[in-house]
Amino acid sequence: MNFLDAEYVQGFMRMANDGWEQGWHERNGGNLSYRVKTEEVELVKENFVAKEWQAIGATVPDLAGEFFLVTGSGKYFRNVIIKPEDSICMLEVDQTGEKYRIVWGLVNGGRPTSELPSHLMNHEVKKKATDGKYRVIYHAHTTNVIALTFVLPLKDEVFTRELWEMATECPVVFPAGIGMVPWMVPGGCEIAIATSKLMKAYDVAIWAHHGMFAAGEDFDLTFGLMHTVEKSAEILVKMLSMQPTKLQTITPDDFRDLARDFNVTLPEKFLYTK
* Residues making up the binding site: 139, 141, 210
Q: Which of 211, 147, 207 is nearest to 180 (CA)?
A: 207
- The whole-angstrom separation of Cα 111 and Cα 101 is 10
Q: What's the CA gap between 211 and 49, in Å, rounded?
A: 34
Any contact of residue 19 with ligand 2HA (CB under 6 A)? Answer: no
Residue 267 contacts ligand 2HA per CB under 6 A: no
Compose the 131-150 pattern: x for residues touching Zn ion by CB under 5 A, - for all others: --------------------
- Rounded CA-CA distance 274/272 in Å is 6
Contact flag: residue 112 with ligand 2HA (CB under 6 A)? no
31 counts as binding ligand 2HA under rule CB under 6 A: yes
Residues 64, 93, 80, 47: is their CA dihedral positive or negative? negative
Give the integer Cα–Cα distance in Å for 242 and 220: 33
Contacts (CB under 5 A) with Zn ion, residues 205-224:
211
* Count of residues in contact with ligand 2HA, rule CB under 6 A: 8
Q: Which of 40, 66, 115, 162 binds ligand 2HA (CB under 6 A)?
A: 115
Q: Which is nearer to ligand 2HA, 110 or 186 (CB)?
A: 186
Which CB sits closer to ligand 2HA, 187 or 252?
A: 187
User: What mask of x and - would describe binding to Zn ion in positions 26 to 65, judged by CB under 5 A?
Assistant: ----------------------------------------
The one-letter code for the residue type at 272 is Y
| 178-181 vs 204-207, strand pairing mode | parallel
CB of 114 to ligand 2HA, least distance (A): 5
Q: Report the greatest alpha carbon distance in the chain.
A: 61
Q: Examine residue 186 and tell whether it contacts ligand 2HA (CB under 6 A).
A: yes
The verdict on 232 binding ligand 2HA (CB under 6 A) reads no
Q: Which residues are annotated as a binding site for Zn(2+)?
A: 139, 141, 210
For residue 131, count other CB atoms closer than 10 A to its CB.
7
59: number of CA atoms within 13 Å, CB side? 2
Instruction: Find all residues with CB under 8 Å of 107, minimum gap 6, and list them.
Output: 85, 86
Q: Is 114 in the site for ligand 2HA (CB under 6 A)?
A: yes
Closer of 72 and 211 to Zn ion (Cβ): 211
Determine whether 46 is an active site residue. no
Work out how close the CB of 239 gets to ligand 2HA at its nearest, in angstroms, rounded to a whole number: 28
Q: Is 28 in the site for ligand 2HA (CB under 6 A)?
A: yes
Task: Identify the active-site residue in 115, 124, 162, 230.
Answer: 115
Q: Identify the CA nearest to 259 among candidates 271, 273, 272.
A: 271
CB nearer ligand 2HA, residue 5 or residue 26:
26
Composition of the chain by helix, strand, coil, percent to 5: 45, 15, 40
112 vs 211, beta carbon nearer Zn ion: 211
Distance, in Å, from the CA atom of 251 to the CA atom of 258, rounded to the nearest integer, reads: 11
Q: Which residues does the annotation mark as catalytic?
A: 115
| Interface positions with ligand 2HA (CB under 6 A) | 28-31, 114-115, 139, 186
